[in-house]
Amino acid sequence: MPSNKDSDGGWKTFLWNSETGQFLGRTGGSWAKILLFYLIFYGCLGAIFIGTIQALLFTLDNYKPTYQDRVSPPARAEKSEFSFHKDRMETYLKYTQSLRDFLDLYDDDKQLNQMNYEDCGVISFKRILPVLITVSQRVRRVQRQRRSGQRGGVRMACRFKRSWLGSCSGITDREFGFKEGNPCFIVKLNRIVNFRPRPPSSNNSIPEEAQPKVQPNVIPISCTHKREEDAGKTGDIQYYGIGGGFPLQYYPYYGNKLHPQYLQPLVAIQFVNVTLNEEVRSNARSTGRTLATTRRTASGAASRSSSRSAACHDRPHPHFNNLGKI
């Protein structure tokens, strides 16, 4: 019994020793010292961590990337193969709805604010006219920049009228040509802060199919068959937009903080009289002195040139989802 009593009292004594005033083997002063030690220790670690983060943030710019190299195409993209039946709306509804949702940002009624948008040029299929800005617009822009006090102020965005995309604007044809078997596609360059594209230095660097529509202030884009066996299947390819390319007055892009209303210039590509009931593979490519393109990927470092594999049917096709890989 005495031994059991001693063993029963051992842990109780360790928990609280009334004779020495120790709790868990330590006096109040000992506990205070060790808690103070760990408070200082972890406080210093936290201060070092916060200091390194603040030092890193101090080196970063709020308006543009501190370190910026070649911008590659997105690592993950939606499936570029598609097939549709021109007489069955449900087969192309998701494509036309996606185009309508995207072009909603380019509606004229959303670009009426004179403090956010300005006219940077007038559309012409022969040439790009000089930028036309009224004196009152210039005054308002300078006043706004002075009020903001941030890197020259918030930049005004150039207007881009949806109607410039012609039959691919979705204004007159809500089906974007899919109903007639002449599908439309919208092409744009990636947003890169402070990137200034430059047109090709000579016609020798421009693909043959793009040379007839070359303009001095426009980055040309061309679309052609991807493989030799696809030659003749793409039909007539039509381009809509300012000069059928990307006009230079819309660049550079200054970032989301300084350019919150920025609208990227668009090019609409329409395949007219495309071969039906067959897989058609095409490749779109933009050309410029600051756009690098590799033969293996056929995609620019500063722009994305997408390959498309499509099949348009005028009757039910037995291999509706059996499209080849690119």
Q: Which two tokens stand for residue 112?
A: 């009426």
Question: Same domain for 106 and 246?
Answer: yes
Is the pLDDT higher at 319 or at 267? 267
The C-alpha atoms of residue 241 and residue 111 are separated, in whole angstroms, by 17
Question: Same domain for 47 and 195?
Answer: no
Question: Same domain for 53 and 88?
Answer: no
Q: Which CA distances in Å does 315 have to 95, 278, 287?
A: 19, 12, 38
In degrees, to the nearest 5, what angle opens at C-alpha 151 toward C-alphas 113 and 218? 65
Which alpha helices (DSSP H) does 81-134 contain, by range? Answer: 93-103
Q: Cα 197 to chain center, whole Å?
A: 16
Q: What is the mean pLDDT of residues 278-284?
A: 83
Structural domain count of the chain: 2
Residue 129 lies in a domain: no
Question: Same domain for 85 and 54?
Answer: no
Question: Same domain for 306 and 172?
Answer: yes
Give the pairing of strands 267-272 and 236-240.
antiparallel
Question: Same domain for 49 and 173?
Answer: no
Residue 199 lies in a domain: yes
**pLDDT tops 80 at residue 208:** no
Quick one: what percent of the chain has pLDDT higher than 70?
69
Question: Same domain for 86 and 211?
Answer: yes
Q: Which two tokens stand for residue 2?
A: 């005495």
Question: Same domain for 52 and 180?
Answer: no
pTM as predicted: 0.68
Residue 88 lies in a domain: yes
Residue 248, φ and ψ in degrees, nearest 5: -70, -20
Cα–Cα nearest to 86, from 273, 233, 322, 309: 273
Q: What is the mean pLDDT of residues 126-145?
A: 43
Query: What confidence score (pLDDT) does residue 7 get?
Result: 52
pLDDT in tens, 143-181: 454 444 445 578 889 999 999 999 999 999 999 999 998
Q: Which CA distances in Å does 165 have to 136, 161, 172?
A: 29, 8, 11
Query: What confidence score (pLDDT) does residue 323 get?
Result: 28
Query: What confidence score (pLDDT) does residue 202 get?
Result: 66
Residue 325 lies in a domain: no
Residue 11 lies in a domain: yes
pLDDT in tens, 64-117: 777 777 665 555 556 567 788 888 899 899 999 999 999 999 999 999 988 889
Question: Same domain for 165 and 38?
Answer: no
Q: Cα 289 to chain center, whole Å?
A: 21
Whether the CB-CB separation of 313 and 280 falls below 8 Å is answered with: no
Residue 291 lies in a domain: yes
Residue 66 lies in a domain: no
**pLDDT tops 60 at residue 263:** yes
Residue 293: band (very low, low, confident or very high) from pLDDT cuts 50, 70, 90: low
Name the residue range of residue 190's domain: 81-112+160-313
DSSP lists the bridge partners of residue 240 as: 268
**pLDDT tops 80 at residue 136:** no
**pLDDT tops 90 at residue 212:** no
Number of H helices, E strands in the chain: 4, 12
Question: Same domain for 92 and 225?
Answer: yes
DSSP notation for 178-220: GGGT--EEEE-PPP-BT------SSGGGS-GGGGGG--TTEEE
User: What's the CATH code of the domain at 86?
Assistant: 2.60.40.1660
Question: Same domain for 7 and 107?
Answer: no
Residue 171 lies in a domain: yes
**pLDDT tops 50 at residue 298:** no
Residue 48: band (very low, low, confident or very high) from pLDDT cuts 50, 70, 90: very high
Task: Provide the Cα torsion 188, 294, 290, 80; round to 10°.
Answer: 10
Question: Same domain for 300 and 189?
Answer: yes
Query: What confidence score (pLDDT) does residue 51 get?
Result: 95
